[in-house]
Amino acid sequence: MENNETVKSRITAETALVQPQVKKNQVKLTIEELRSCKGFETISESEGQEIIESLFQLVVIVYNF
């Protein structure tokens, strides 16, 4: 059976593996970058902006969770 310190150490080590590496001043995906992804080559400007904003909101939620 593991003691509390061993469990804390293991959890800390596992958590470190999944922590996102976020750099300050990162910018949102651009339309050109989105269009370079397979399946998004012909997306309209307005659809692209909506997708980019949705992705950004998802990233914020996941990062803060």
* Domain definitions of the chain by residue range: 22-65
Give per-residue pLDDT as tens, 11-32: 555 554 445 455 566 788 999 9
Residue 4 has pLDDT above 70, yes or no: no
8 pLDDT higher than 90? no
Higher pLDDT, 20 or 60: 60
Q: Which residues of 17-48 are buried (b: 16+ CB within 10 A; e: fewer)?
A: eeeeeeeeeeeebebeebeeeeeeeebeeeeb
pLDDT at 35: 96
pLDDT of the residue at 63: 84
